[in-house]
Amino acid sequence: MTAVKPVQPSRLSEPSPRVDGDCATALSALYIYTLADAARLTQFCVPTVRRWAVGEKFVYKGEIRRSPGVIGCAPRWIGDTPHVTFRQLLSMRVVRGLRALGMPLKTIRRIGAMAAAESGDPVPLATLRFRTDGAAALLILDHARRARIEPEAPPAEDDPHETDSWQAIFADMLDRSLFRDVDWLDGRPVRWWPMGRDRSIVVDPRVVGGMPHVAGTRVRAAVIAADMRSWCDGEAAIRTVAAAHGITAQQLRDAVHFETVWLAPRDAAPVRSGSSPEPETPSAPSGRPAPSQAA
Protein backbone atom coordinates (compact mmCIF):
# COMPACT_ATOMS: atom_id res chain seq x y z
CA MET A 1 0.00 0.00 0.00
CA THR A 2 1.43 3.37 -1.00
CA ALA A 3 1.44 5.99 1.70
CA VAL A 4 0.01 9.36 0.89
CA LYS A 5 2.60 12.11 0.86
CA PRO A 6 1.43 14.93 3.15
CA VAL A 7 0.54 18.11 1.34
CA GLN A 8 1.05 21.47 2.96
CA PRO A 9 -2.44 22.97 3.11
CA SER A 10 -2.99 26.44 1.74
CA ARG A 11 -3.32 29.13 4.39
CA LEU A 12 -4.97 31.50 1.97
CA SER A 13 -8.56 32.44 2.64
CA GLU A 14 -11.13 31.47 0.04
CA PRO A 15 -10.78 33.88 -2.91
CA SER A 16 -13.54 36.45 -2.99
CA PRO A 17 -15.70 36.79 -6.11
CA ARG A 18 -15.25 40.55 -5.77
CA VAL A 19 -11.72 40.60 -7.16
CA ASP A 20 -10.15 43.25 -9.32
CA GLY A 21 -12.22 43.47 -12.49
CA ASP A 22 -9.29 43.54 -14.93
CA CYS A 23 -7.71 40.50 -13.27
CA ALA A 24 -10.96 38.51 -13.29
CA THR A 25 -11.63 39.36 -16.93
CA ALA A 26 -8.11 38.44 -17.99
CA LEU A 27 -8.15 35.07 -16.22
CA SER A 28 -11.61 34.10 -17.46
CA ALA A 29 -10.39 34.87 -21.00
CA LEU A 30 -7.50 32.41 -20.85
CA TYR A 31 -7.81 29.38 -23.12
CA ILE A 32 -7.11 26.79 -20.43
CA TYR A 33 -9.57 23.93 -21.08
CA THR A 34 -9.08 21.31 -23.74
CA LEU A 35 -12.22 19.91 -25.35
CA ALA A 36 -11.68 16.75 -23.31
CA ASP A 37 -11.72 18.87 -20.13
CA ALA A 38 -14.82 20.69 -21.37
CA ALA A 39 -16.57 17.41 -22.17
CA ARG A 40 -15.97 16.09 -18.65
CA LEU A 41 -17.14 19.28 -16.98
CA THR A 42 -20.26 19.56 -19.15
CA GLN A 43 -20.96 15.83 -18.68
CA PHE A 44 -21.06 15.24 -22.42
CA CYS A 45 -18.97 13.41 -25.00
CA VAL A 46 -16.03 14.96 -26.85
CA PRO A 47 -17.56 14.74 -30.37
CA THR A 48 -20.63 16.70 -29.24
CA VAL A 49 -18.54 19.33 -27.45
CA ARG A 50 -16.29 19.62 -30.52
CA ARG A 51 -19.33 20.29 -32.67
CA TRP A 52 -20.52 23.01 -30.30
CA ALA A 53 -17.08 24.64 -30.13
CA VAL A 54 -15.52 24.14 -33.57
CA GLY A 55 -18.53 23.61 -35.83
CA GLU A 56 -18.78 21.00 -38.54
CA LYS A 57 -18.62 20.44 -42.27
CA PHE A 58 -21.71 19.98 -44.41
CA VAL A 59 -22.47 19.72 -48.12
CA TYR A 60 -24.78 22.28 -49.73
CA LYS A 61 -25.54 22.04 -53.47
CA GLY A 62 -22.41 19.99 -54.01
CA GLU A 63 -20.21 22.47 -52.15
CA ILE A 64 -18.50 21.69 -48.85
CA ARG A 65 -19.24 24.36 -46.28
CA ARG A 66 -18.63 24.79 -42.57
CA SER A 67 -21.08 25.83 -39.91
CA PRO A 68 -19.56 27.73 -36.98
CA GLY A 69 -19.78 26.67 -33.37
CA VAL A 70 -22.45 27.91 -31.01
CA ILE A 71 -20.42 29.17 -28.03
CA GLY A 72 -19.44 32.57 -29.41
CA CYS A 73 -15.75 32.93 -30.21
CA ALA A 74 -14.00 30.00 -31.85
CA PRO A 75 -11.65 27.95 -29.67
CA ARG A 76 -7.93 28.67 -29.85
CA TRP A 77 -5.61 26.01 -31.17
CA ILE A 78 -2.56 25.49 -28.97
CA GLY A 79 -0.39 23.08 -30.88
CA ASP A 80 -2.77 20.47 -32.26
CA THR A 81 -5.35 20.84 -29.49
CA PRO A 82 -8.26 23.31 -29.37
CA HIS A 83 -8.76 25.08 -26.05
CA VAL A 84 -11.70 27.07 -24.68
CA THR A 85 -12.05 29.69 -21.96
CA PHE A 86 -13.92 29.50 -18.67
CA ARG A 87 -16.78 31.53 -20.15
CA GLN A 88 -16.95 29.29 -23.22
CA LEU A 89 -17.03 26.28 -20.91
CA LEU A 90 -20.08 27.70 -19.13
CA SER A 91 -21.62 28.57 -22.51
CA MET A 92 -21.51 24.86 -23.32
CA ARG A 93 -23.64 24.20 -20.25
CA VAL A 94 -26.21 26.68 -21.58
CA VAL A 95 -26.14 24.95 -24.98
CA ARG A 96 -26.68 21.62 -23.23
CA GLY A 97 -29.72 23.04 -21.45
CA LEU A 98 -31.17 24.45 -24.67
CA ARG A 99 -30.62 21.15 -26.47
CA ALA A 100 -32.42 19.36 -23.63
CA LEU A 101 -35.40 21.64 -24.37
CA GLY A 102 -35.35 20.31 -27.93
CA MET A 103 -33.85 23.41 -29.55
CA PRO A 104 -31.82 22.75 -32.74
CA LEU A 105 -28.27 24.09 -32.98
CA LYS A 106 -29.26 26.40 -35.84
CA THR A 107 -31.75 28.17 -33.58
CA ILE A 108 -29.25 28.34 -30.70
CA ARG A 109 -26.70 29.86 -33.07
CA ARG A 110 -29.18 32.52 -34.20
CA ILE A 111 -30.22 33.34 -30.64
CA GLY A 112 -26.57 33.71 -29.66
CA ALA A 113 -25.85 35.95 -32.65
CA MET A 114 -28.81 38.19 -31.83
CA ALA A 115 -27.80 38.39 -28.16
CA ALA A 116 -24.20 39.18 -29.14
CA ALA A 117 -25.35 41.99 -31.42
CA GLU A 118 -27.57 43.40 -28.68
CA SER A 119 -24.99 43.23 -25.89
CA GLY A 120 -21.77 43.68 -27.84
CA ASP A 121 -20.34 40.63 -26.06
CA PRO A 122 -18.81 37.97 -28.35
CA VAL A 123 -19.65 35.22 -25.82
CA PRO A 124 -23.19 36.23 -24.83
CA LEU A 125 -24.45 32.89 -23.48
CA ALA A 126 -22.34 33.14 -20.32
CA THR A 127 -23.56 36.56 -19.19
CA LEU A 128 -26.23 37.70 -16.77
CA ARG A 129 -27.78 39.72 -19.57
CA PHE A 130 -28.50 36.62 -21.66
CA ARG A 131 -31.47 35.80 -19.45
CA THR A 132 -33.36 38.75 -20.99
CA ASP A 133 -31.60 39.05 -24.37
CA GLY A 134 -31.90 35.31 -25.07
CA ALA A 135 -35.58 35.21 -24.17
CA ALA A 136 -36.26 38.23 -26.38
CA ALA A 137 -34.39 36.66 -29.31
CA LEU A 138 -36.30 33.41 -28.86
CA LEU A 139 -39.65 35.24 -29.07
CA ILE A 140 -38.54 37.16 -32.19
CA LEU A 141 -37.54 33.94 -33.91
CA ASP A 142 -40.81 32.29 -32.88
CA HIS A 143 -42.83 35.17 -34.36
CA ALA A 144 -40.83 34.90 -37.60
CA ARG A 145 -41.47 31.16 -37.75
CA ARG A 146 -45.22 31.67 -37.33
CA ALA A 147 -45.22 34.30 -40.07
CA ARG A 148 -43.58 31.84 -42.48
CA ILE A 149 -46.08 29.12 -41.62
CA GLU A 150 -49.14 31.40 -42.02
CA PRO A 151 -47.99 34.27 -44.27
CA GLU A 152 -51.56 35.40 -45.05
CA ALA A 153 -52.76 35.40 -41.47
CA PRO A 154 -53.44 38.84 -39.95
CA PRO A 155 -51.07 39.85 -37.15
CA ALA A 156 -52.39 38.57 -33.85
CA GLU A 157 -51.84 39.87 -30.38
CA ASP A 158 -49.28 37.94 -28.39
CA ASP A 159 -50.78 35.47 -26.00
CA PRO A 160 -49.45 36.67 -22.63
CA HIS A 161 -49.88 33.23 -21.11
CA GLU A 162 -47.83 31.57 -23.86
CA THR A 163 -45.17 34.28 -23.68
CA ASP A 164 -44.95 34.01 -19.91
CA SER A 165 -44.72 30.22 -20.20
CA TRP A 166 -41.79 30.34 -22.63
CA GLN A 167 -39.99 32.93 -20.55
CA ALA A 168 -40.50 30.83 -17.42
CA ILE A 169 -39.16 27.70 -19.15
CA PHE A 170 -36.21 29.63 -20.54
CA ALA A 171 -35.40 31.25 -17.17
CA ASP A 172 -35.68 27.93 -15.33
CA MET A 173 -33.30 26.26 -17.79
CA LEU A 174 -30.75 29.06 -17.36
CA ASP A 175 -31.06 28.90 -13.58
CA ARG A 176 -30.33 25.17 -13.60
CA SER A 177 -27.57 25.37 -16.24
CA LEU A 178 -25.78 28.51 -15.14
CA PHE A 179 -27.05 31.18 -12.78
CA ARG A 180 -27.88 29.17 -9.69
CA ASP A 181 -24.34 27.94 -9.03
CA VAL A 182 -22.12 30.68 -10.49
CA ASP A 183 -20.53 33.73 -8.86
CA TRP A 184 -20.61 36.87 -11.02
CA LEU A 185 -18.62 40.07 -11.36
CA ASP A 186 -19.88 42.91 -13.57
CA GLY A 187 -22.27 40.54 -15.34
CA ARG A 188 -19.61 37.92 -16.16
CA PRO A 189 -18.90 34.60 -14.43
CA VAL A 190 -15.84 34.28 -12.20
CA ARG A 191 -16.46 31.06 -10.25
CA TRP A 192 -18.66 27.97 -10.61
CA TRP A 193 -19.89 25.49 -7.98
CA PRO A 194 -20.61 22.43 -10.18
CA MET A 195 -22.32 20.34 -7.47
CA GLY A 196 -24.04 23.31 -5.87
CA ARG A 197 -23.08 25.86 -3.25
CA ASP A 198 -23.70 23.40 -0.43
CA ARG A 199 -20.80 21.23 -1.63
CA SER A 200 -17.12 22.15 -1.40
CA ILE A 201 -15.93 21.65 -4.99
CA VAL A 202 -15.40 24.79 -7.07
CA VAL A 203 -14.06 25.70 -10.53
CA ASP A 204 -12.24 29.03 -10.61
CA PRO A 205 -9.89 30.16 -13.43
CA ARG A 206 -7.85 32.03 -10.80
CA VAL A 207 -6.95 28.88 -8.83
CA VAL A 208 -4.94 25.74 -9.82
CA GLY A 209 -5.29 26.40 -13.54
CA GLY A 210 -9.07 26.44 -13.46
CA MET A 211 -9.32 22.79 -12.45
CA PRO A 212 -11.95 21.59 -9.90
CA HIS A 213 -10.61 21.87 -6.36
CA VAL A 214 -11.69 22.12 -2.75
CA ALA A 215 -12.88 25.66 -2.04
CA GLY A 216 -10.53 27.66 0.15
CA THR A 217 -7.53 25.45 -0.72
CA ARG A 218 -5.39 24.67 -3.74
CA VAL A 219 -6.04 20.91 -3.54
CA ARG A 220 -7.44 19.49 -6.77
CA ALA A 221 -10.33 17.05 -6.58
CA ALA A 222 -8.56 14.70 -9.00
CA VAL A 223 -5.53 14.44 -6.69
CA ILE A 224 -7.72 13.56 -3.71
CA ALA A 225 -9.62 10.91 -5.67
CA ALA A 226 -6.34 9.40 -6.94
CA ASP A 227 -4.96 9.20 -3.41
CA MET A 228 -8.13 7.52 -2.16
CA ARG A 229 -7.86 4.87 -4.89
CA SER A 230 -4.58 3.72 -3.34
CA TRP A 231 -6.29 3.00 -0.03
CA CYS A 232 -8.93 0.54 1.07
CA ASP A 233 -12.32 1.98 1.83
CA GLY A 234 -13.08 2.94 5.36
CA GLU A 235 -13.26 5.82 7.80
CA ALA A 236 -9.60 5.36 8.77
CA ALA A 237 -8.51 5.88 5.16
CA ILE A 238 -10.76 8.92 4.84
CA ARG A 239 -9.30 10.49 7.98
CA THR A 240 -5.73 9.74 6.89
CA VAL A 241 -6.04 11.15 3.37
CA ALA A 242 -8.05 14.16 4.55
CA ALA A 243 -5.42 14.97 7.18
CA ALA A 244 -2.63 14.64 4.60
CA HIS A 245 -4.29 17.26 2.43
CA GLY A 246 -5.40 19.52 5.27
CA ILE A 247 -9.10 19.16 4.48
CA THR A 248 -12.14 17.77 6.30
CA ALA A 249 -13.63 14.33 5.79
CA GLN A 250 -16.70 15.88 4.15
CA GLN A 251 -14.56 17.87 1.73
CA LEU A 252 -12.78 14.64 0.81
CA ARG A 253 -16.10 12.88 0.24
CA ASP A 254 -17.24 15.76 -1.98
CA ALA A 255 -14.06 15.52 -4.05
CA VAL A 256 -14.33 11.74 -4.50
CA HIS A 257 -18.02 11.97 -5.38
CA PHE A 258 -17.28 14.70 -7.91
CA GLU A 259 -14.55 12.70 -9.67
CA THR A 260 -16.22 9.28 -9.58
CA VAL A 261 -19.93 10.05 -9.88
CA TRP A 262 -20.69 13.63 -10.89
CA LEU A 263 -18.27 13.68 -13.86
CA ALA A 264 -19.83 10.57 -15.40
CA PRO A 265 -21.07 11.48 -18.93
CA ARG A 266 -24.81 11.99 -19.30
CA ASP A 267 -25.18 11.74 -23.05
CA ALA A 268 -28.74 10.47 -22.78
CA ALA A 269 -30.10 13.85 -21.69
CA PRO A 270 -33.88 14.16 -22.07
CA VAL A 271 -34.77 15.74 -25.41
CA ARG A 272 -38.20 16.96 -26.33
CA SER A 273 -40.11 15.05 -29.00
CA GLY A 274 -39.21 16.08 -32.55
CA SER A 275 -35.63 17.07 -31.85
CA SER A 276 -32.41 15.28 -32.61
CA PRO A 277 -31.23 12.79 -29.99
CA GLU A 278 -27.92 13.22 -28.20
CA PRO A 279 -25.05 12.70 -28.53
CA GLU A 280 -24.54 14.57 -31.78
CA THR A 281 -21.74 13.06 -33.84
CA PRO A 282 -20.25 15.59 -36.26
CA SER A 283 -18.19 15.12 -39.36
CA ALA A 284 -14.47 15.43 -38.78
CA PRO A 285 -13.51 19.09 -38.95
CA SER A 286 -11.38 20.16 -41.92
CA GLY A 287 -8.67 22.60 -41.00
CA ARG A 288 -8.65 24.94 -38.07
CA PRO A 289 -10.85 27.96 -37.67
CA ALA A 290 -8.93 31.16 -37.08
CA PRO A 291 -8.81 31.99 -33.37
CA SER A 292 -11.00 34.90 -32.45
CA GLN A 293 -10.61 37.44 -29.69
CA ALA A 294 -10.53 36.21 -26.13
CA ALA A 295 -13.85 35.53 -24.46
DSSP H helices in the chain: 21-28, 35-42, 46-54, 86-100, 105-119, 130-149, 160-177, 221-229, 235-245, 249-257
More reliable by pLDDT, 185 or 13: 185
Least confident of 46-60, 160-174, 211-225, 252-266: 160-174
Residues of the chain above pLDDT 90, percent = 45
Residue 79 resides in a domain: yes
Residue 237 resides in a domain: yes
Three-state secondary structure along 82-140? EEECHHHHHHHHHHHHHHHCCCCHHHHHHHHHHHHHHHCCCCHHHCCCHHHHHHHHHHH
User: CA-CA distance, 82 to 35, in Å (whole number)?
Assistant: 7
Q: How many structural domains compose the chain?
A: 1
The pLDDT tens digits for 239-281 are: 999 999 999 999 999 999 999 999 976 654 433 333 333 444 3
What's the pLDDT at 266?
A: 61
Question: Is residue 4 scored above 50 in pLDDT?
Answer: no
What's the pLDDT at 12?
A: 29
What's the pLDDT at 151?
A: 53
Residue 270 resides in a domain: no
Question: Bridge-partner residues for 76, per DSSP?
Answer: 83
Residue 279 resides in a domain: no
Please provide the average confidence, as pLDDT, over all residues in the chain: 78
User: CA-CA distance, 277 to 31, in Å (whole number)?
Assistant: 30
Residue 139 resides in a domain: yes
Backbone angles phi, psi at 251, to 5 degrees: -60, -40
What's the pLDDT at 17?
A: 35
Mean pLDDT value of segment 182-193: 93
Mean pLDDT value of segment 56-77: 87
Residue 284 resides in a domain: no
Mean pLDDT value of segment 136-144: 80
pLDDT band at 133 (very low <50, low <70, confident <90, very high): confident
Question: Is residue 290 scored above 50 in pLDDT?
Answer: no
What's the pLDDT at 201?
A: 98
pLDDT band at 175 (very low <50, low <70, confident <90, very high): confident
The pLDDT tens digits for 86-103 are: 999 999 999 999 998 888
pLDDT band at 148 (very low <50, low <70, confident <90, very high): low
The pLDDT tens digits for 103-114 are: 899 999 999 999
- Give the three-class secondary structure for 294: coil
pLDDT band at 61 (very low <50, low <70, confident <90, very high): confident
CB-CB contact of 51 with 280 (8 Å): yes
User: CA-CA distance, 238 to 225, in Å (whole number)?
Assistant: 11
Q: Give yes or no for a cis peptide into 124 (omega within 30° of 0).
A: no
Sign (positive/negative) of CA torsion 49, 52, 56, 60? positive
CB-CB contact of 109 with 68 (8 Å): yes
More reliable by pLDDT, 27 or 246: 246
User: CA-CA distance, 198 to 214, in Å (whole number)?
Assistant: 12
* Structural domain that includes position 135: 21-262
Mean pLDDT value of segment 283-293: 42
What's the pLDDT at 83?
A: 95
Residue 16 resides in a domain: no
Mean pLDDT value of segment 224-241: 87
More reliable by pLDDT, 269 or 193: 193
Residue 290 resides in a domain: no
What's the pLDDT at 86?
A: 95
